[in-house]
């Protein structure tokens, strides 16, 4: 089998053990295709409920920089599959083979990097169950003078510990050379991972198989006899306590080890989603006809009363946000609707479609005004100029077009992107237009004065390229200006959001806590908060001034495709491939 789920091309088998396999693969569904790692789990060793639990906590753990990002999961041909980020670099087994045995300073560094990760996992009742040199990768660093982080990989054997688990025995899992005695008997505990970490350390120090470092006759480790360079008594004491056969003689937690080596015993600077967040989903809109398989675009009218949604069934729906009922369903496009936008005065709705056209509608009477023809490929984004007379459109024909709303005619075409254009946005002052493309760049266009309605727009110069912003590793999918026009936010297939200073084109910060493509970004009216939507099924809120994540909103059962923010209320709308729209509202916290 060369493909899974029609888009994952299997490149090679990385490892095969027990009930599962690990493959290096390429996601051909992305442009450009991206490498990933696919883990196959046998139905003999997984049941649907435990697999769903594993997916849930892998999504959470995957937000940590020292654990691969979780990308997808599915079931096919009698197996469960987990798709995770491919970590470019060398594992510790490769490093020791190429560079020789580790010295003491390298072991201290290993402990300092991995112990907080093990603490993070144990705090969530998770045991990795297969810690060994092959499953610890030193991430490649673009800067040759710096060293990349260590990343813990391969969670096929990992398990969540419950009270029931403590009373039962399971099939032995993990790698025999590195597994703790109790784990080989089917009784893995949190200290089992610490034992495996200790065995990993002595292998790296000696470059000798752990099987040969254990004296079976005397039931003890003799690793120090094989050292070519002695280590300090302090390190030897730490490792020997990690390696105790009896669990009650061993370090019981990562906390204990961290305290013993003088590390502050706390989880790394890393925040998970806040439980019981003040933002809550108070309404889910699902009144769709049969056949709708994705909500692609959302927009809220300037008065905050109407929500417009564009869908894969070629229709646009207008919702009354007060009653949560459908006001009207607009038909006319012959393919999926990919973008919707209200004019600043709220009187006109623009919609863009894969059918290569843009349509303008009366938002009060729901009548079609006209259809704009000119693009030679799917139109993915439309945005109104603040003067309400100009509309910009971005297309997969690699161009951006400006349209005269009064006449329905094309003003000019902006050419320069090398690949498809995914998103366009005007600055609040209307002097700039930003465009995002599959060519991994964002372009800022200077727009000439177009304010006077009595001027003839057509056939006169209307734009110039101001700057090109580069920095994303993959396709740029979305752009948004802050309300004051000073910051530009961009989201990408590389799972990151970047904030740029508009006046200089300088990168301000990179937000990288999403585990999949960021498909939509939007600022709140006060400019203090940025909202992002991702295929990782979440919406995140960020504090713009500090680039800190405020909260993660979870609830969609499939990829989130779009978001919209009410200009007059504390309300966020999100649309998803799960066929629903969710309305999130800020809930006042009651004092207890």
User: Are 173 and 74 part of one and the same domain?
Assistant: no
- Is residue 147 one of the residues assigned to a domain? yes
| Number of domains observed in the structure of the chain | 2
230, part of any domain: yes
- Give the end of a domain, one of 67, 85, 103: 85
Question: Does 56 or 396 have the greater pLDDT score?
Answer: 396
Q: Please check whether residue 464 is in contact with residue 402, taking contact to mean a CB–CB distance below 8 angstroms.
A: no
| 160 or 265, greater pLDDT | 160
Is 95 found in the same domain as 47?
no
Predicted TM-score (pTM) above 0.75: no
For residue 178, give the CATH number of its domain. 1.10.510.10
Distance between CA 378 and CA 394 in Å, rounded? 9
Determine which one of 27, 103, 123, 130 is catalytic.
130
DSSP codes, 381-415 = EEEE-TTSSEEEEEETTSEEEEEETTTTEEEEEEE
* Domain coverage including residue 225: 89-260
Per the domain annotation, does 15 fall within a domain?
yes
Same domain, residue pair 151 and 56 = no
Of 22, 50, 85, the residue that ends a domain is 85
Q: What is the DSSP letter of 346?
A: S
What whole-number distance in Å separates Cα of residue 565 and Cα of residue 406? 27
Lowest-confidence region among 16-20, 205-209, 277-281, 515-519: 16-20
Question: Is the same domain home to 97 and 70?
Answer: no
CA dihedral 149, 150, 153, 158 (to 10 degrees): -120
**Does residue 498 register a pLDDT over 50?**
yes
The answer to whether residue 539 is domain-embedded is: no
Instruction: Compute CA distances 408 → 391, 449, 511, whole Å.
Output: 10, 19, 39
CB-count burial class (<10 Å; 0-12, 13-18, 19+) for 272 = middle
> Of 184 and 442, which is predicted with more confidence?
442
pLDDT, tens only, 311-354:
999 999 999 999 999 999 999 999 999 999 999 999 999 999 99
Angle at 514 between CA 508 and CA 517, to 5 degrees: 95
313 assigned to some structural domain = no
Average pLDDT over residues 495-500: 95
Phi, psi of 390 (to 5 degrees): -120, 140
Residue 350 lies in a domain: no
Burial 137-157 (b: 16+ CB within 10 A, else e): bbeeeeeeeeebebbbbbbbb
Give the least confident one: 250-264, 495-509, 568-582. Answer: 250-264
Report percent pLDDT > 90 for the chain: 66
Per-residue pLDDT tens for 168-213?
445 446 789 999 999 988 889 999 999 999 999 999 999 999 999 9
Cα separation, 38 vs 214, in Å, equals 34
Is residue 73 located within the same domain as residue 113? no
48 and 101 fall within a common domain:
no
Task: Give yes or no: 130 in active site.
Answer: yes
């Amino acid at each position: 089998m060369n493909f899974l789920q029609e888009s994952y091309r299997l490149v090679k088998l990385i490892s095969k053990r027990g009930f599962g396999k690990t493959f290096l693969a390429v996601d051909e569904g992305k442009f450009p295709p991206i490498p990933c790692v696919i883990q196959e789990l046998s139905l003999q060793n997984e049941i649907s409920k435990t697999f769903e639990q594993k997916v849930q906590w892998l999504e959470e753990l995957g937000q940590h920089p020292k654990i691969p990002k979780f990308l997808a999961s599915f079931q096919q041909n009698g197996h469960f599959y987990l798709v995770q980020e491919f970590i470019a670099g060398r594992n510790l087994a490769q490093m020791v083979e190429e560079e020789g045995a580790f010295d003491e300073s390298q072991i201290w560094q290993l402990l300092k990097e991995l112990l907080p990760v093990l603490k993070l996992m144990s705090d969530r009742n998770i045991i990795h169950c297969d810690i060994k040199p092959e499953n610890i990768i030193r991430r490649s660093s673009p800067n040759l003078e710096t060293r990349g982080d260590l990343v813990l990989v391969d969670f096929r054997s990992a398990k969540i510990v419950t009270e029931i688990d403590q009373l039962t025995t399971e099939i032995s899992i993990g790698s025999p050379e590195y597994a703790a005695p109790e784990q080989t008997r089917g009784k893995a505990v949190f200290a089992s991972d610490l034992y495996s970490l200790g065995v990993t350390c002595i292998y790296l120090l000696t470059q000798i198989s752990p099987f040969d470092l254990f004296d079976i006759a005397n039931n003890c480790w003799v690793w120090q006899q094989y050292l070519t360079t002695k280590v300090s008594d302090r390190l030897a004491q730490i490792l020997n306590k990690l390696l105790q056969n009896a669990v009650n003689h061993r370090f019981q937690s990562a906390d204990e080890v961290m305290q013993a080596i003088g590390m502050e015993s706390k989880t790394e600077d890393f925040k998970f989603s806040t439980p019981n967040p003040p933002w809550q989903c108070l309404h889910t809109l699902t009144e769709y006809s049969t056949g709708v398989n994705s909500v692609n675009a959302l927009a809220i009218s300037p008065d905050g009363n109407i929500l417009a949604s564009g869908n894969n069934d070629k229709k646009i729906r207008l919702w009354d946000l007060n009653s949560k009922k459908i006001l009207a369903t607009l038909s006319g496009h012959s393919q999926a609707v990919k973008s919707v936008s209200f004019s600043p005065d709220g009187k006109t709705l623009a919609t863009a479609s894969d059918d290569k056209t843009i349509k303008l509608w009366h938002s009060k009477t729901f009548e079609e005004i006209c259809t704009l023809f000119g693009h030679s490929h799917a139109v993915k984004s439309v945005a109104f100029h603040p003067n309400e007379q100009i509309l910009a459109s971005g297309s997969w024909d690699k161009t951006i077009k400006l349209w005269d709303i009064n006449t329905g005619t094309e003003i000019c075409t902006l050419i320069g992107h090398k690949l498809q254009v995914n998103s366009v946005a005007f600055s609040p002052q209307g002097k700039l237009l930003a465009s995002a493309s599959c060519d991994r760049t964002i372009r800022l266009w200077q727009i000439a004065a177009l304010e006077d309605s009595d001027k003839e727009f057509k056939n006169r110069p209307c734009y110039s390229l101001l700057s090109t912003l580069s920095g994303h590793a993959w396709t740029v999918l979305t752009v948004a200006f802050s309300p004051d026009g000073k910051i530009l936010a961009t989201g990408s297939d590389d799972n990151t959001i970047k904030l740029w200073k508009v006046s200089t084109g300088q990168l301000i910060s990179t937000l990288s806590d999403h585990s999949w493509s960021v498909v939509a970004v939007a600022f709140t009216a006060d400019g203090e908060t940025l909202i992002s939507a991702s295929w990782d099924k979440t919406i995140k809120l960020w504090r713009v001034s500090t680039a800190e994540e405020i909260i993660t909103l979870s609830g969609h059962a499939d990829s989130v495709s779009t978001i919209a923010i009410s200009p007059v209320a504390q309300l966020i709308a999100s649309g998803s491939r799960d066929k629903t729209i969710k309305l999130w509202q800020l809930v006042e916290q009651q004092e207890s």
